[in-house]
Chains A and B, each alone.
Chain A
Amino acid sequence: MPEQHPPRAVDDGPPPFGGSWTLLYLVVGGVLLGLIALFWLFTRAFA
C-alpha cells in the first residue's frame, strides 16, 4: 500500500510582500522580458 499521507489544509495566504501572487508572477515575467531586452541591447552595443 502506498504510504501517501492524506491531504491536509495548509496556509495558502497572500505573499509576504507585493500584495498578491498574481502580481508577483507578473513581476517575475516582466523582469525576464526586461532582461532579454537588456541583453539584446548589450549584444548590439558590443557587437
Chain B
Amino acid sequence: MRPIDWVVLASWLTFIVAWGVWRGGRSRTIDGFLLAGREMRWGTVALSIMATQASAITFLSTPGQAYADGMRFVQFYLGLPLAMIVLSIVAVPLYHRLRVFTAYEFLEGRFDLKTRVLTASLFLVQRGLAAGLTIYAPSLILSVMLGWDIRLTIAIIGGLVVIYTTSGGTRAVSRTHTLQAAVILVGMAAALVVLIRSLPPGVSYLDALHVAGAAGRLNAIDASFSLTDRYTLWSGLIGGFFLALSYFGTDQSQVQRYLTGRSIGESRMGLLINGVVKVPMQFGVLLIGASVFAFYQFVRPPIFFNPVEAARVRASASGERFTSLESEYADATQQRATAARQLADAFEAGDPAREVTARQGWAEADARTTAVRRQAVGLITATDPRANPSDTNYVFLSFVLHQLPAGLVGLLLAAVFAAAMNSTSAELNALAATTAVDIYRRLVAADASERHLVRVSRLATVFWGAFAVLFAEFANRLGSLVEAVNILGSLFYGTILGIFLLAFSRRRPSGTAVFVAAVLAEAAVVACYALTSLSFLWYNVVGCAAVIVGALALYPLLGRGQTSRTT
C-alpha cells in the first residue's frame, strides 16, 4: 500500500460513514427507521437488493473460487431470475397489502405465534452468523496487509457499519448502497482492464482465456445430473431456485429492502431488475477470477497465496525445506509459462495438431507445478496443524496488491469495504427489525411507543453488530467463505421457505402442524449435513419438501388452519 492508496481508502471510509449518518436522518417513527418511510423508487430498491446480496465475500472469494475450481459456480445463480418472477407475483403484493414490517409478522396471521417466533428465531441465528462472515472477509484484508491482529480489524469494520446503521436505519442503508455500488463497479472493471493490459507482450486476452479454458476454468455450464456434485445446471436451476425463493422471499435482510418501495410496482421492479442483472454480474466476477488464473499461467504466482502462513513456515524449523520448494516452484512455473506461451501461440495459429502437442506440454508442466505446491501446502499444515490449507480467499487480494498500480489498490480496497459494509448494514438492520418487531414488541412490550421501539431497534443494531464481530473471530477456519456462507444459509432456508409456501397457500394446515413439521424438517436437514454427502444446494429442497409433506401428513392429527381471504 502506497500513500495514495491510504488516502483513497481512508477518504472513502470517512465519506461513506458521514454520508450514511447525514442522509439517514434521525427517524423518530418505527416506519421511518425500519422501512425508510416506504418511499423508495425502484432504482434504489434494485441497487439495495443487489448490494445486500453482493458482500465483500462476493468480490474476494468468488474470483478465488473461479481460480481454483473454474466458472461453474455461476450455475448457483441460475434459479434466481425465476424466483424473482414468482416473488413479484406472490409475495410483493401480499406483504404490501398487509403493511408488515417483517416477513415473519405475516406468519402469525396465517398460523400462530409460535410458528412466527420459531421462523424469526431461525432467521436471527442464521443471519447473525452470516453477518459475522461478511465482517470477517474485509477484516482479513487489513490483517494480512498491515500485519494487524485480525480481532482489531474485525472490531473496526463492525464499528464503522454500526455507526451509520444505528444512526440512520434503513434510509441510511439504502442511500449508502447506491453510492457504494458505483465504487464496486468501477473498482472491478478497473481490475479487469489492468489485468488484460498486464499480460505478456504477444499474448492476447483471448489467447489467455483459451489457456484457462484448456485448464478447465471456463466451465460455466455442466448439464450432467448429480445429487453430490455441488454446481450443475440442474442443482442451480432447482436447488438455486429454492434457495433464492427463500432468501429473497423470507429473509428479512432482503424483504426489508423491497418493503421500502413506495408501491407494489416499485418493489416488484426492483426484484425483476435484480433477476436480469445478477447472473451476468456474477459471471463477470467469476471471469475476473478465471482471468487471474490465466494471468498466472504466464507470470509466476506465489507458492501459497496467504503470505502470513507462508512467512510462518519460513520462520520455522521447516523453513529451509520450504525455501527449497519455493525455488523448485519457480522453475516449475517458468516451464509452465513457456508451455502456456506455446499453447497460446498454437491457438493463435489455429493449428489443431500443434495445439494438441502444446496442450500436452502444458498439462505436464502444470502437473509438476501442482505437485510442488501440494508439498508446500503439506509442509504448512505439518508445521502448524491449525493452518488453513485453503488459500482461495487470498488469490484476488494477492493479485490486487502485487499487480495493480498506486491509487487503484486503494480504490479496489474501497470497493471491497463498500461491499462488506453494504451487506453487513442490511443484515444488522434486518436483525434489529426482527428483534424489535417479532420478539420485543410481540413478546415483551406490546404497548411500547414508536420512540421506544426506535430506541430498541437502535440497541438491537448495536447488539447484533457485537454478536457478528464475535462470530467473525471464528470464521477463519471455514475454507472458501463464499461456500461457507451459502452452506450456512442452505441449512435453514429450506425449512423457512416450506413454512412460507404453506402460508401463501389458500388452504393450509394448522399452526401446530406446521410448527412440528418445521422442527422435524430442520432436524432432517441437519442430519443430511452431518451424515450424508448430499450437495448443499439440495438441502433447500429437502427442508422445504419436509415441512410441506410433514405438515400435510400431520394435519389430520393436529387440525387444519383458516382459509385465506387476503391472497
Interface residues, chain A, CB within 8 Å of chain B?
2-5, 7-16, 21, 24-25, 27-29, 31-32, 35-36, 39-40, 42-43, 45-47
Contacts and interface: CB of A to CB of B under 8 A. Distances in A.
Contact of B446 (A3, A13, A16, A31): A3
Contact of B221 (A21, A28, A29, A36): A36
Q: Indicate the member of B213, B219, B220 with the most A CB atoms within 10 Å.
A: B220
Given A16-B266, A28-B81, 6 more contacts: A3-B441, A7-B97, A12-B93, A12-B264, A40-B220, A47-B219
A40 B265 CA distance: 34
Interface in B73-91: 74, 78, 81-82, 84-85, 88-89
Sorting the interface of chain B by its residue count into under 10, 10 to 19, 20 to 34 or 35 or more gives 35 or more
B78 A25 contact: no
B218 interface: yes
A42 B109 contact: no
A40 B219 CA distance: 9
B58 to A, nearest CB: 18
A2 B441 CA distance: 10
B275 A7 contact: no
Contact of B275 (A8, A9, A16, A28): A28
The 9 closest A-B pairs by CB, nearest first: A46-B213, A39-B220, A46-B218, A5-B99, A2-B108, A4-B109, A11-B263, A32-B81, A40-B221
Contacts of A2: 105, 108-109, 113, 116, 442
A46 B210 contact: yes
A15 B269 CA distance: 7
Contacts of B212: 46
Nearest to B74: A39
A27 B561 CA distance: 37
B42 interface: yes
Contact of B85 (A14, A25, A42, A46): A25
Contacts of A43: 218-222
B281 to A, nearest CB: 11
Contacts of A16: 42, 265-266, 269
A4 B81 contact: no
A7 B213 contact: no
Interface of B: 42, 74, 78, 81-82, 84-85, 88-89, 93, 96-100, 105-106, 108-109, 113, 116, 209-210, 212-214, 218-223, 233, 263-266, 268-269, 272, 275-276, 279-280, 283, 441-442, 446, 566
B192 to A, nearest CB: 16
Contacts of A25: 85, 88-89, 272
A5 B98 contact: yes
Contact of B105 (A4, A8, A40, A45): A4
7 contacts: A14-B265, A16-B265, A25-B85, A36-B221, A40-B220, A40-B221, A42-B218
Q: Indicate the member of A25, A36, A39, A46 with the most B CB atoms within 10 Å.
A: A46
Contacts of B99: 5, 8
A32 B106 CA distance: 31
A39 B279 CA distance: 11
Given A21-B88, A21-B268, A4 B221 contact: no
B243 to A, nearest CB: 16
Given A4-B109, A25-B85, A29-B85, A10 B263 contact: yes
Contacts of B81: 28-29, 31-32
B264 A11 contact: yes
Nearest to A25: B85
Given A39-B74, A43-B220, A8 B97 contact: yes
A35 B75 CA distance: 11
A29 to B, nearest CB: 7
A43 B116 CA distance: 45
Nearest to B206: A46
Contacts of B283: 35, 39
Contact of B276 (A10, A28, A39, A47): A28
B263 A35 contact: no
B97 A28 contact: no
B415 to A, nearest CB: 24
A36 B89 contact: no
Nearest to A12: B264
A10 B263 CA distance: 7
B209 A4 contact: no
A32 B82 contact: yes
A46 B209 contact: yes
Contact of B97 (A3, A10, A31, A47): A10
A10 B34 CA distance: 20
Nearest to A37: B221
Contact of A35 (B113, B280, B566): B280
Contacts of B100: 4-5
Contact of A42 (B214, B220, B223, B263): B220
Q: Indicate the member of A8, A13, A29, A35 with the most B CB atoms within 10 Å.
A: A35
